[in-house]
Amino acid sequence: MVELASWKDGLAKSAIVEFTDGAVRNVAPPERVAVFDNDGTLWCEKPAYIQLDFIVRRLAEKAAADPGLAHEQPYLAASTADLSWFGGAITQHYQGDDTALKTLAGAVMSLHQSMPVEDHAALVNAFFAEATHPTLGRPYQSCVYAPMVELLRYLEAHEFTCYIVSGGGRDFMRPITDAIYGIPPERVVGSAQGLKFTGDDAGHGDLLIQPTLDVFDDGPEKPVRIWSRIGRRPILSAGNSNGDDEMLRYSGRPGRSALRLVVLHDDADREFSYTAGAERLLDHASTHAWTVVSMKNDWATVFGD
């Protein structure tokens, strides 16, 4: 049986074990649905999102090919490696100000316009094959939280079906999630650009990325996407930011047990320490007695070996 070896004995580990045992006794396997945010919940999100590094590199390449863009945001920030501008845009979003995020989104929407989805996946795979975390010095594929991957295996061993439900790009995560989490692409729900089918006279066709936003899978949109994609209400959910609050609130129903996990980044030595963008979630965790997972106190290791 899979064990939670990387979890220290304490309230968080006990809550997981007790809830899982209860679910095995009282919940049919098809209803044992668990949903996980990705950035900051399954892998590292500081000093900037991993997908943001991928985007910044692509924006810098575009600015180099068209110098007229170099003095406009977000191309200026990309060309000068000013990650604080990008991180600030995301933090402002979680605090209710989308001004900078809209500027970023407009550029990102046009970045891979008319590219076949398979070609985009190839770019993502090439990125993960060579890119490393700017401060931790680890390959991005090794910036995965070992205790959370262990939790995925533990739940699966108890006949849970685990999904990723993230504000991150669906087509950025799908090429890599099976290798690093054991989560296949069909169980990845995320933000996505529009797609368009185009065919040729030889009977072949492609899906091409469009410069439009199909869905931004964050906040209240997460429960909507969970229902539309999965068709079941989760009984376990895990997140770390205000954008996950609605997903955790959607887990379970009155009178039916649910486990809501909030990953708290409080380990400056092994990872990072921050709560910006998670204030509402942490307030609700305190109010509703959700289970807060302290990286510092609940995890024996963060990234593993």
User: In terms of domains, do 25 and 174 share one?
Assistant: yes
Compute the distance between CA of residue 12 and CA of residue 287 in angstroms, rounded to an integer.
Answer: 17
pLDDT band at 305 (very low <50, low <70, confident <90, very high): low
Number of domains in the chain: 2
Compute the distance between CA of residue 249 and CA of residue 240 in angstroms, rounded to an integer.
Answer: 13
Q: What is the pTM of this model?
A: 0.92
User: Which pLDDT value is given to residue 265?
Assistant: 98
pLDDT, tens digit (0-9, with 9 covering 90-100), for 27-70: 999 999 999 999 999 999 998 889 989 998 999 999 999 888 88
We report the CATH number of the domain holding residue 206 as: 3.40.50.1000
User: In terms of domains, do 22 and 57 share one?
Assistant: no
pLDDT, tens digit (0-9, with 9 covering 90-100), for 87-131: 788 788 878 888 888 898 889 999 999 999 999 999 999 999 999
pLDDT, tens digit (0-9, with 9 covering 90-100), for 199-253: 999 999 999 999 999 999 999 999 999 999 999 999 999 999 999 999 999 999 8
Owning domain of residue 77 = 50-111
User: In terms of domains, do 146 and 236 share one?
Assistant: yes
User: In terms of domains, do 36 and 178 share one?
Assistant: yes
User: In terms of domains, do 17 and 58 share one?
Assistant: no
User: Which pLDDT value is given to residue 1?
Assistant: 59
Last residue of a domain, one of 111, 127, 148: 111
pLDDT, tens digit (0-9, with 9 covering 90-100), for 3-30: 899 999 999 999 999 999 999 999 999 9
Whether 206 is in a domain gets the answer: yes
Whether 126 is in a domain gets the answer: no
Whether 56 is in a domain gets the answer: yes
Whether 219 is in a domain gets the answer: yes
User: In terms of domains, do 144 and 291 share one?
Assistant: yes
